[in-house]
Amino acid sequence: MNTKTILGIVIVAVGVVLLVMGFNASDAPADQITKSLTGHYTDWTMRYIVGGVAAVIGGGLLAVFGNRSPR
C-alpha cells in the first residue's frame, strides 16, 4: 500500500464518522422541530451529511485510483 491509498482509507473513515454524526444530529429534538417548521434540517446537520458523503466519495476514489502513476 502506498501513501495515497492509506490517505484515501483515512478520508473514507472520517467521512463515515461525519455521516454518523449527521444522522445522529438529525434525530435531535431541536433538529426535528426545525425540520417540522421549515422542512429542512439545520445547517450543521446538512454540513455533516454533505461533508461525509463528499469525504467517502473522494477518499474512495483516492484509495482506488491514487496509486496510478501519470504517463
Gap between the Cα atoms of 33 and 9, Å rounded? 36
Three-state SS annotation for the chain: CCHHHHHHHHHHHHHHHHHHHHHHHHCCHHHHHHHHHHCCCCHHHHHHHHHHHHHHHHHHHHHHHCCCCCC
* pLDDT, position 66: 84
Interval 7-58: pLDDT, tens: 999 999 999 999 999 999 999 998 899 889 998 889 999 999 999 999 999 9
Interval 33-44: pLDDT, tens: 988 999 888 999
- This prediction has a pTM of 0.85
